[in-house]
Amino acid sequence: MNMLKRYRFVLGSLVLMIGLYLINRELGAKAVGVTVYSLKEMLLIIPPVFILLGLLDVWVSKETMARYMGPGSGIKGIVLSFVVGSVAAGPLYGAFPVAAVFMKKGVKFSNVLIFVGAWSTTKIPLLLFEMSALGLKFALVRLLVDIPGIVAIAFTLTRFIPDSEIERLYEKTQSL
């Protein structure tokens, strides 16, 4: 019973997809195709992310992470969060396990948020694509708007999320 409860979303989606297939075979087949494609993409991306996370967990000490990105890291932590997020590869869902390891290692909450914001917004391949497709001026203006925006959002969220909630998140990462 606990297993059914745990996977109710997956089972519900499966039932809906079967129902869609029975009602409209073409649309149902397209939905199955998209689902299979997405699963294959995730299976190709998630294992390397977790291997890198394992290496990060073993090779970089908590003290080192705290020194460079933890409380008291100042501008150095902000810049490092942007750099790591901007050079990272893969879709956004790959950023969350990395963010959890960062939290486990004592990275300051605002720096974790900046890292996730940088991963989603300031990636170098995206910037290169924008330069070629939309022009250098557009890419640079977007980047110059996004960087302060990410910092402002990170500090605003850190200020308005209760400390008890942030502590609870950090405690959860310790069990990973």
The string of pLDDT tens digits covering residues 86-126 is: 988 788 888 999 999 999 999 999 999 999 999 999 988 88
Q: What is the pTM of this model?
A: 0.79
Task: Report the percentage of the chain scoring pLDDT > 90.
Answer: 59
Q: Rounded to the nearest 5 degrees, what angle is found at the Cα of 117, between the Cα atoms of 113 and 121?
A: 175
pLDDT at 57 over 80: no
- Average pLDDT (46-59) is 80
**Radius of gyration of the chain from its Cα atoms, rounded to whole angstroms:** 20
Q: How far apart are CA 120 and CA 38, in angstroms?
A: 19
Q: What is the mean pLDDT of the chain?
A: 90
pLDDT at 59: 85
pLDDT at 132 over 90: yes
Q: How far apart are CA 89 and CA 31, in angstroms?
A: 27
Q: Which of 10-14, 81-85, 87-91 has the lowest mean pLDDT?
A: 87-91
pLDDT band at 44 (very low <50, low <70, confident <90, very high): confident
pLDDT at 176: 76
Q: How far apart are CA 69 and CA 112, in angstroms?
A: 9
- Residue pair 119/88 in contact by the 8 Å Cβ criterion: yes
pLDDT at 2 over 90: no
